[in-house]
């Protein structure tokens, strides 16, 4: 009798990449609902466009490489990339910009490097950066949150705007669009206005931008779910938030007139999404625990620096991309002490 | 059922934790439903010559020899070696290469005995030692060595060597490994339940040899009956220096390094041994064998083996004579169930799959596991997503994902930078990997590559040395030749010089005489011709000399 032979171990947990990705998608649901609630159907349309282009691009590349596509796309990583990119985009962005972003993320950032596991950069963030640099005007035209939006568009109108660029009768871009709270804050700070004045604007809620603060809360909730399910570890998100809090807190203590208070930094823009869903992308992040703390803290610091002194209003994407570059080096120098390793006293 | 938690509370000892590890379904009750039985005696016993780590023993029998049970078949000559004994009486029918259970499927020298069914003991076995305390450590070590005892937990390192760490390594604690952490395996559990007294006696003997005052028995809390058996034995024979420590069930608590850490909080240094931190660790089955050898005078010729798994009809433990074929154990355990997948020697985490069941049981065999094909789709390995799950469970605190990355890239230096050789191949990382990468396979591969490279380097070093030797020898020969030549030349020249001398001397003498004469004549006022008063011989010499001068001048 002949037997099958494989190497040990002979038992495996039933976890799979697909399961991990499903958990991530599940954790994004509250945030997605909140975004749609505040910013309209455009969010869902963006997700639909982005995900389909991402998956189609992946199939295309895999076919080019003459490999079976089904096992690759069924790991759902392309879907996650598509969703994350879409969530960073303005709600009425022309569909072709979204499509270019998704295609770029999958073909150039992910598959060109060999597919999942090999990409040094977070695909969604690299694509976001590309779009921001190439179409800055489109990429910064947000809608006001629903409570401030006097002319909410219905589903048909949204489709029309996204796919044909045609505005509903009587409306123009200028009348419906609005800057994001972050944009508003730092543009007006640049104009030497005081925080007190800026906060008079109706955009502001309790601690962040109206609407935005709640979106961030829901992302936070999803993030906590991922933590609870052990899909991610606490190291990266907590260190991002902590370092951002500490730095903005320090600045705020030095001069509250020109530095927004810490909660503003945390609950505005893409910090929660970035901290829990994007920077934790294991492929492009640090893999050692100590390294993850350094990685996260540096992202927090970079967000603060770029927001305060850089040219772009939100900095999450750039901060993550910059630290993606540093991750392998950080990993090398933060190897944990192995079992039985005696503390280095002499050589090395 | 016994509640495991209650037995933990009996510990006075503080327990430590090791990093990572897994909670695995233990599947142990399967083979514990039936009491252990004796395996049937096979017609043929195939006894591998080398069943231990170290030098192979020297064969003492030849084909056709009649042997008795317990007779030495091969004698250990080296220090790190162990003898093997006939596990039943019969005739040696072959001494040749036979397939043996080995991950690589290799063949090795085996002594095949055709049993005569009488199972007759050799009558020159050594006397049982009833009072081990009156014996010196050396006498007892000699007995243990004679009995061919090796680490039965799987390492098969000769026990005598392990029990004799030398004067530079003072030992204060004996750790007894009864954790048996791998799923499915129950041979130690069964042994303890049935032979707790003997094991305890073995512990006392070993404590006497090591002259240690403390023994810690580490056992996982999922073996309440074995715990009770040890407790009972301890209460009957309490010496106060043996402590039973119930540890939580978490794989791989039975790893030597992990168990020692749990019990003492100490870490064995990277490439060190337990003896470096004053500890000697032995498995319960080894201690049972020690007691058999010392108190009964029996060599190690059989052991408890778990035959289990979903692919077996009647899973159970068996006492198996060394050299019995796996196929006959399976038969004894009711044969195969349908849909058999793998035949594994050892447990599901660290055991290796065998391609055939016509292989003998050796001292290292603790478990034969037969798995069943499940209906779940095969787990095809995908790319590493660097999720770090593997690092979370790695008891050696390694970064399995980095090891994998560099092993895959065949970067053998980097993979060692990330401490490949601290990997104990426990399989935790591969078990949890969501991408189903056979990580351990990569590590084994990398280790083998590195060993091969080192072997190559050693060989090339030897070759280089040889080359250098040769160069040096040639240079020496050349130098000697030159020296000889030079000497020859010198001798020749001297000889030449010696040949010339008398003539020269004669000439000089003649010239001197002539000059004197001339001077005398001058003083007397007469100047004679230069060539006057010369003998004819002298004249000829002068002529010759003049001719030579002319020649040399021209
Ligand atoms: S568990 Fe598997 S996929 Fe995750 S980091 Fe380790 S090797 Fe990579
Ligand atoms: S097999 Fe090696 S790398 Fe994997 S968990 Fe065990 S010790 Fe760590």
> pLDDT per residue over B417-434, tens digit each?
888 988 999 999 999 998
Q: What is the pTM of this model?
A: 0.77
How far apart (Å, rounded) are the C-alpha atoms in residues B86 and B74? Answer: 9
> pLDDT per residue over B422-481, tens digit each?
899 999 999 999 888 999 989 988 888 888 888 888 888 888 888 888 888 888 888 888
- Helix (H, G, I), strand (E, B), or coil: what is residue B317? strand
Residue B268: list chain A partners with CB under 8 A: 340
Contact A20, A76 (CB under 8 A): no
| B370 membership: H or E segment, kind and range | strand B367-372
- Helix (H, G, I), strand (E, B), or coil: what is residue B372? strand
Residue B432: list chain A partners with CB under 8 A: 13, 15
Q: What is the number of the ligand 1 atom nearest to the C-alpha of B436?
A: 2
Question: Residue B1: its pLDDT value, please?
Answer: 37
Question: Residue A348: its pLDDT value, please?
Answer: 38
Task: Tokens 């069964």: give the residue.
Answer: B190
| B489 membership: H or E segment, kind and range | helix B439-524
Question: Residue B304: its pLDDT value, please?
Answer: 94
Average pLDDT over residues B389-413: 90
Cross-chain residue pair A8–B342, CB shorter than 8 Å = no
Determine the distance from the C-alpha atom of residue A201 to the mean position of all C-alpha atoms in its chain, rounded to a whole number. 27
Cross-chain residue pair A341–B272, CB shorter than 8 Å = no
| B220 membership: H or E segment, kind and range | strand B214-220
Q: Find the chain A residues whose C-beta atoms sit closer than 8 A to any C-beta of B.
A: 1-17, 19-20, 71, 75, 77, 114-118, 233, 282-283, 285, 287-289, 331, 335-342
Question: Residue B553: its pLDDT value, please?
Answer: 47
Closest CA to A55 of A33, A80, A35: A80
As a whole-number percent, the residues of chain B with pLDDT over 70 amount to 90
Asked whether the predicted pLDDT for residue A321 surpasses 90, the reply is: yes
From the CA of A283, the nearest ligand is: 1
DSSP B80-147: SB--EE-SS-EEEEEEEEEE-S-TT--EEEEEEEEE-S--PBPTTPPPP-S-GGGS-HHHHHHHHHHT
How far apart (Å, rounded) are the C-alpha atoms in residues B42 and B39? Answer: 9
Strands, sheet with B279-283, edge to edge from the N-terminal-most edge strand: B242-247, B214-220, B173-177, B279-283
Domains along the sequence of chain B with CATH: 2-43+133-367 (3.40.50.11540), 502-553 (no CATH)
DSSP A3-31: -B--PSP----S--HHHHHHHHHHHHHHH
Reading the block at residue A32, the tokens are 């997605």
Confidence of residue A344 (pLDDT cuts 50, 70, 90): very low
Question: Residue B84: its pLDDT value, please?
Answer: 93
How far apart (Å, rounded) are the C-alpha atoms in residues B441 and A8? Answer: 8
Confidence of residue B548 (pLDDT cuts 50, 70, 90): low
Average pLDDT over residues A165-194: 73
Question: Residue A225: its pLDDT value, please?
Answer: 95
For chain B, give the mean pLDDT: 85
Asked whether the predicted pLDDT for residue B528 surpasses 50, the reply is: no
Confidence of residue A214 (pLDDT cuts 50, 70, 90): confident
Contact B290, B144 (CB under 8 A): yes
Average pLDDT over residues B278-288: 93
DSSP A78-135: HHHHHHHHHHTS-TT--HHHHHHHHHIIIIIIIGGGTSTTT-SS-HHHHHHHHHHHH-
Average pLDDT over residues B498-504: 65
**Residue of chain B with shortest Cα separation from A280:** B387
Contact B42, B324 (CB under 8 A): yes
Closest CA to B85 of B73, B68, B75: B73
Q: B34: which DSSP letter? A: S
In this structure, what are the phi and psi dihedrals at residue B189, rounded to the nearest 5 degrees?
-55, -50
Higher-scoring residue by pLDDT: B270, A127: A127
Q: B373: which DSSP letter? A: -
Closest CA to B46 of B88, B82, B76, B104: B88
Question: Shortest CB distance from B268 goes to which of A288, A289, A340?
Answer: A340
Confidence of residue A130 (pLDDT cuts 50, 70, 90): very high
Closest CA to B292 of B464, B155, B159: B159
How far apart (Å, rounded) are the C-alpha atoms in residues B14 and B175? Answer: 15
For B282-291, b/e burial (b = at least 16 CB within 10 A) is: bbbbbbbbbb
**B404 C-alpha vs ligand 1 centroid, how far in Å?**
9
Confidence of residue B539 (pLDDT cuts 50, 70, 90): low
This model of the complex carries an ipTM of 0.78
Q: A341: which DSSP letter? A: P
């Amino acid at each position: 009798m002949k037997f099958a032979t494989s190497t040990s171990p002979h038992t495996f947990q039933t976890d799979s990449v697909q399961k991990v990705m499903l958990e991530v998608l599940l954790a994004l649901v509250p945030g997605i609902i909140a975004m749609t609630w505040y910013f309209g159907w455009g969010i869902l349309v963006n997700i639909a466009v982005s995900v389909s282009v991402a998956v189609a691009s992946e199939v295309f590349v895999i076919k080019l490489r003459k490999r079976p596509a089904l096992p690759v796309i069924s790991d759902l990583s392309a879907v996650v990339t598509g969703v994350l990119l879409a969530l960073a985009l303005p709600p009425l962005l022309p569909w072709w910009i979204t499509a270019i972003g998704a295609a770029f993320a999958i073909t150039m950032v992910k598959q060109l490097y060999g597919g999942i596991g090999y990409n040094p950069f977070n695909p969604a963030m690299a694509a976001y950066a590309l779009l921001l640099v190439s179409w800055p005007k489109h990429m910064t035209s947000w809608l006001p949150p629903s409570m401030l939006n006097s002319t909410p568009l219905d589903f048909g109108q949204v489709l029309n705007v996204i796919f044909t660029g045609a505005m509903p009768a009587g409306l123009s871009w200028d009348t419906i669009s609005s800057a994001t709270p972050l944009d508003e804050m730092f543009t007006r700070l640049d104009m030497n206005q005081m925080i007190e004045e800026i906060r008079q604007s109706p955009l502001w809620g309790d601690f962040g931008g109206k609407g935005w603060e709640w979106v961030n809360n829901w992302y936070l909730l999803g993030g906590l779910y991922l933590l609870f399910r052990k899909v991610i570890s606490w190291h990266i998100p907590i260190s991002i938030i902590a370092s951002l809090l500490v730095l903005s807190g320090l600045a705020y203590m030095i001069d509250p007139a020109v530095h927004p208070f810490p909660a503003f930094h945390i609950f505005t823009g893409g910090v929660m999404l970035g901290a829990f869903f994007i920077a934790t992308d294991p492929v492009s992040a640090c893999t050692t625990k100590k390294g993850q703390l350094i990685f996260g803290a540096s992202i927090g610091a970079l967000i603060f620096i770029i927001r305060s002194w850089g040219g772009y209003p939100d900095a999450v994407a750039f901060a993550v991309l910059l630290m993606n570059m540093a991750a392998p080096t950080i990993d090398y120098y933060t190897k944990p002490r192995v079992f039985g390793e005696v503390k280095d006293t002499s050589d090395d | 059922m016994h509640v495991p938690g209650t037995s933990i509370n009996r510990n006075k000892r503080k327990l430590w934790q090791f990093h990572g590890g897994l909670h695995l379904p233990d599947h142990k009750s399967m083979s514990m439903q039936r009491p252990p039985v004796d395996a049937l005696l096979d017609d043929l016993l195939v006894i591998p010559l080398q069943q231990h780590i170290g030098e192979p023993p020297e064969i003492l029998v030849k084909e056709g020899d009649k042997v008795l049970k317990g007779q030495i078949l091969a004698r250990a000559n080296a220090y790190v070696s162990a003898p093997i004994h006939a596990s039943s009486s019969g005739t040696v029918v072959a001494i040749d290469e036979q397939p043996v259970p080995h991950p690589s499927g290799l063949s090795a020298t085996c002594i095949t005995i055709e049993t005569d069914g009488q199972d007759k003991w050799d009558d020159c076995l050594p006397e049982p030692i009833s009072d081990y305390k009156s014996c010196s450590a050396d006498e007892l070590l000699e007995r243990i060595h004679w009995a061919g005892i090796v680490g039965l937990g799987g390492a098969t390192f000769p026990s005598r060597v392990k029990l004799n760490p030398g004067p530079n390594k003072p030992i204060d604690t004996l750790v007894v490994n009864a954790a048996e952490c791998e799923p499915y395996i129950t041979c130690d559990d069964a042994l303890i339940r049935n032979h707790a007294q003997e094991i305890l006696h073995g512990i006392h003997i070993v404590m006497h040899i090591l002259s240690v005052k403390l023994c810690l028995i580490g056992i996982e809390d999922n073996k309440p009956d074995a715990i009770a058996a040890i407790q009972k034995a301890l209460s009957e024979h309490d010496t106060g220096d043996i402590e039973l420590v119930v540890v939580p069930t978490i794989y791989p608590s039975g790893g030597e390094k992990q168990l020692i850490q749990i019990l003492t909080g100490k870490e064995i240094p990277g490439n060190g041994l337990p003896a470096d931190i004053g500890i000697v660790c032995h498995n319960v089955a080894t201690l049972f064998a020690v007691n058999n050898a010392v108190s009964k005078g029996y060599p190690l010729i059989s052991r408890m083996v778990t035959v289990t798994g979903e692919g077996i009809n009647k899973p159970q433990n068996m006492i198996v004579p060394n050299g019995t074929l796996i196929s006959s154990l399976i038969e004894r355990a009711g044969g195969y169930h349908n849909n058999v997948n793998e035949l594994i020697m050892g447990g599901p985490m660290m055991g290796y799959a065998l391609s055939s069941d016509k292989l003998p049981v050796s001292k290292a065999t603790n478990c034969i596991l037969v798995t069943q094909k499940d209906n779940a789709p095969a787990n095809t390995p995908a790319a590493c997503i660097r999720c770090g799950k593997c690092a979370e469970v790695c008891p050696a605190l390694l970064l399995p994902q980095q090891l994998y990355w560099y092993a895959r890239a065949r970067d053998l230096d980097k993979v060692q930078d990330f401490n490949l050789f601290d990997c104990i191949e426990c399989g935790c990382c591969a078990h949890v990997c969501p991408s189903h990468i056979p990580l351990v396979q990569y590590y084994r591969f990398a280790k083998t590559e590195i060993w091969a490279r080192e072997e190559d380097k050693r060989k090339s070093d030897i070759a280089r040395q040889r080359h250098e030797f040769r160069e040096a020898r040639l240079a020496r020969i050349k130098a000697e030749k030159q020296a000889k030549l030079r000497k020859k030349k010198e001798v020749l020249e001297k000889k030449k010089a010696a040949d010339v001398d008398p003539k020269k001397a004669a000439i000089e003498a003649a010239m001197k005489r002539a000059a004197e004469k001339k001077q005398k004549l001058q003083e007397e006022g007469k100047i004679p011709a230069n060539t006057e008063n010369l003998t004819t011989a002298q004249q000829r010499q002068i002529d010759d000399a003049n001719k030579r001068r002319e020649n040399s001048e021209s």
